[in-house]
Amino acid sequence: KNEVEQSPQNLTAQEGEFITINCSYSVGISALHWLQQHPGGGIVSLFMLSSGKKKHGRLIATINIQEKHSSLHITASHPRDSAVYICAVSPGSARQLTFGSGTQLTVLP
């Protein structure tokens, strides 16, 4: 069993829909990251969470440490949100990350 599980693996939505991507992990962590990767490979760090909830624009990330679960929400989705979203956890050092396999999101106009 992978230490970090993401669901769904693939997600297709219509523009404007509310999107949720889930991440479950099995190890104790000091932090959880949500990353966005566009075609071509570039990765952008969206959030780093150790507790609670963070919001940036149309993106919201939550974490429940007791349940070892995090969610990434996108409100009013747009075709430019199409990308792979990756959950990663830090069991110790903030940069020694264990990654999920990613969720491919496609938002159709």
Q: Which residues form the interface with another protein (CB under 8 A)? A: 31, 33, 35, 40-45, 48, 86, 88, 92-102
CB of 46 vs another protein, minimal distance in Å: 10
Neighbours of 60 (CB within 10 A): 16
CB of 50 vs another protein, minimal distance in Å: 9
Task: Choose between 13 and 100: whose C-beta lies nearer to another protein.
Answer: 100
CB of 2 vs another protein, minimal distance in Å: 9
Paired tokens of 44:
């952008």
91 cis-preceded (ω within 30 degrees of 0): no
Q: Is residue 18 within 8 Å of residue 74, measured between CB atoms?
A: yes
